[in-house]
Amino acid sequence: MMNLKTDYDFEDITLKNFITLTEEEQELVRNWRNDENVRKWMYSDAIISSKEHVSFITHLQDDTKNCYWLVNTKKGEQIGVIDLNKINFKNKNAYLGIYANPDCKLKGKGSLLIEHVIKLAFEICEFHTLKLEVIDTNKKAISFYKKSGFIEEGRLKEFVFKNGNWNDVIVMGIIKREGDA
């Protein structure tokens, strides 16, 4: 089994594993995650305390199914967070997650995040399939994922309770094909 508890260096981007983050970086990521425009699309949309966040990162050290990275440009601009979760090396698949730094003004930051989580999954981990789940009211994200090559594969009916309503969750996926970059 591959050890993903490391940092990665791409031509234009660096991925810093959450278990190697400084205290300042941990707090920065927690603040992004707590931003209303980020957390409203998460299954758990409660404010995360500093103690909860530190505990989460501490538990990641021994977690073989979930890995998170802070994404930075080579110039040091902090773009956001990517993750692989429900990692299954035997069946060569995982689910992804992304969220952008709400203060980052870089154009195309979402595309950079999705591009690098796909590279990580298909080129480094050599996975065959990559999945994601998105709340059905998040039309902007659904459109973005479709443009990124993901297709709708299923629907989890009334799976998440948000703002007094039950929402479906759309399962989307992408498969690495022979000859894909």
Predicted confidence at residue 177, as pLDDT, reads 77
Question: What's at 40, amino acid-wise?
Answer: K
Average pLDDT, the chain: 94
Q: Of the given ranges (8-12, 13-17, 94-98, 149-153), which has the lowest mean pLDDT?
A: 8-12
Distance CA(83)–CA(102), nearest Å, equals: 17
- In eight-state DSSP terms, residue 60 is H
The beta strands (E) that lie in the chain are given as: 8-9, 13-17, 67-73, 78-88, 93-100, 129-135, 151-162, 165-175
Q: CB–CB of 25/19 below 8 Å?
A: no
Closest by Cα among 5, 12, 180 to 111:
12
The model's pTM is 0.94
What are the pLDDT digits (tens) for 5-46?
Answer: 999 999 989 999 999 999 999 999 999 999 999 999 998 889
CATH class of 8-127: alpha beta
pLDDT of 181 higher than 80:
no
Of the pLDDT bands very low, low, confident and very high (cuts 50, 70, 90), residue 155 is: very high
Distance CA(38)–CA(102), nearest Å, equals: 8
Q: CB–CB of 122/140 below 8 Å?
A: no
Predicted confidence at residue 29, as pLDDT, reads 97
Distance CA(126)–CA(68), nearest Å, equals: 17
- CA dihedral 64→70→75→79, nearest 10 degrees, is 140
177 compared with 131, residue with greater pLDDT: 131
Predicted confidence at residue 105, as pLDDT, reads 92
Predicted confidence at residue 169, as pLDDT, reads 98
What's the rounded mean pLDDT across residues 74-103?
96
Q: What is the largest CA-CA distance in the chain?
A: 46
What's the rounded mean pLDDT across residues 168-179?
90
What's the rounded mean pLDDT across residues 63-90?
96
What's the rounded mean pLDDT across residues 49-53?
96
The residues spanned by each domain of the chain are 8-127
Q: CB–CB of 26/68 below 8 Å?
A: no
